[in-house]
Amino acid sequence: MLCQRAGLHQNGESMADSKKDICRIELGESSYELPVVVGSEGERGIDISSLRSTTGHIALDRGYMNTGSCVSSISYIDGEQGILRYRGIAIEDLAEKSTFVETAYLVIYGELPTASQLKEFSAMFTKYEMLHEGLKHHFEGFPPNAHPMAILSSMINAMGCYEADIADSDQHFDEVLVRIMSKVRTIAAFSYKKSIGEPFIYPYPEFSYCANLLHMMFSVPYKEFFPSKEAISALNKFFILHADHEQNCSTSTVRMVASSKANLFASIAAGVCSLWGPLHGGANMAVIEMLDQLYKDKTKTKDFVAQIKDSTNKTKLMGFGHRVYKNHDPRAKIIKKSCDELLSKLKINDPTLEIAKELEEIALQDEYFISRKLYPNVDFYSGIILRALGIPANMFTVMFAIGRIPGWIAQWREENADPKGKICRPRQIYNGQTSRPYKKLADR
């Protein structure tokens, strides 16, 4: 396969228009030309949509390592340079200066809100923060030890049933998205209360997004919990860092479900399930379990790293490695700093922070990790922050999900609005039995 480089195009996706902007492939005696697509940051892709009809071949790419599934203008990652931007704005700037609600607006609508837009947007969160009382009874159906991710996904779908009149309407998109973002916080807090057998606590209209979540999780009927400004700021930062991350596993799931024209509730519920696994959002819980185990067993970090490098062993350094980042994950740098600041402000001495730092130091100097370009990702330190906020490990991935909701909403809308959009339906290479006759039961 031969790809020739040409000048970059400035405005979003553009199809190559000169002879140079083509990819030529040779199959046997025949030669075919495929167009090259160029993004606004100069990244380049070969458009293979006509590959099967012209050559009779499909592209095989397990895990979509090299497959672009859409053209998107929401977030941009340069994995080699460790860059992440939402709608063109650096993650470092947003984490430092923005709030989660403002960043959510940016991610969903493409621009930072004006003061009046932000006021109106925030007021809608308050308006829709309560759950329908009927919906509340659904919590009764879950056993006390049900995983909060299972509850979250089920309840988002159940919520869609209570909003059926508006769920499928484009006209109500603004209202539906705020309902989801706001109520998801109430569902998360209720699922936590359910898991510890405490009564549900209702939201306070005057509290901000993050303060309200902490209040609903930690207040009890006889004692109000007022979160500190440090805790609110750390949670805002945590959510901002998770707000979008281009075509990761859960976002691709949301877009795939959306491509069948399923509504936002159904698509986001599917995204929650996809996020759950330990290779994706579930890694934050897996990291803290790993660090706790090392602390409990008094395992030397050097010995643990040796265990990871042993090829007969399947142990991974959870919170390390990324499909796209091959230099550093910018979110990890921000979260590590935020972790240090929060623990020092709250005067918390968490021994797992020292273990994590030691592991990072050893790994970053070790040939195994260097040669594979494995660096700490966003999940490596995030669990320590969440624990400092009093959040239990089985809620960590729920917190990731709450943060990712704006991204899923924006991606769902982009998928739906794409005039060239198609139902996602990958092909396969079949390697099963070839044609054979059915044998009657008596003959088997």
**For the chain, what percentages of helix, strand and coil (3-state, to nearest 5) are there?**
55, 10, 40
CB of 142 to ligand CMC, least distance (A): 25
Footprint (CB under 6 A) of ligand CMC, residues 354-383:
372, 374, 377-379
* Span near ligand CMC by CB under 6 A; candidates 84-92, 134-142, 216-224, 277-285: 277-285
Separation of first and last alpha carbons in the chain: 48
Tokens of 65: 């390592």
How many CA atoms, within 13 angstroms, populate the side-chain half-sphere of residue 338?
32
Contacts (Cβ under 8 Å, ≥6 apart) of 103: 86, 94, 239, 240, 243, 406
| Annotation marks residue 322 as catalytic | yes
Compute the least distance from the CB of residue 14 to ligand CMC, in Å. 29
Which one, 126 or 382, has the nearer CB to ligand CMC?
382
**Subset of residues 242 to 271 that bind ligand CMC, contact rule: CB under 6 A:** 245, 248
Taking the least distance from each CB to ligand CMC, the nearer of 107 and 318 is: 318
Q: Identify which of residues 136 and 316 has a Cβ nearer to ligand CMC in the complex.
A: 316
CA separation for the pair 376, 394 (Å, rounded) = 21
- DSSP letter for 7, please: P
Least gap, CB of 330 to ligand CMC (angstroms): 12
Q: Which of 322, 333, 387, 413 is in the footprint of ligand CMC by CB under 6 A?
A: 322
Amino acid at 352: T
Q: How many residues bind ligand CMC (CB under 6 A)?
A: 20
Nearest approach, Cβ of residue 18 and ligand CMC (Å)? 34
Q: Could you give the dihedral angle defined by the CA atoms of residues 139, 140, 145 and 151, in that order, rounded to the nearest 10 degrees?
A: -20
How many whole angstroms separate alpha carbon 422 and alpha carbon 170? 18
Q: Is 188 in the site for ligand CMC (CB under 6 A)?
A: no
236: helix, strand or coil: helix
From 21, 322, 329, 350, active-site residue: 322
Contacts of ligand CMC in 291-320 (CB under 6 A): 308, 316-320
Residue 57 is among the residues annotated as catalytic for this protein: no
Asked if residue 280 binds ligand CMC (CB under 6 A), the reply is yes
Helices 148-162 + 264-275 axis angle, to 10: 180
Least distance in Å: CB of 278 to ligand CMC? 6
Catalytic machinery residues: 322, 379
The binding site for ligand CMC (CB under 6 A) comprises 245, 248, 279-281, 283, 308, 316-323, 372, 374, 377-379
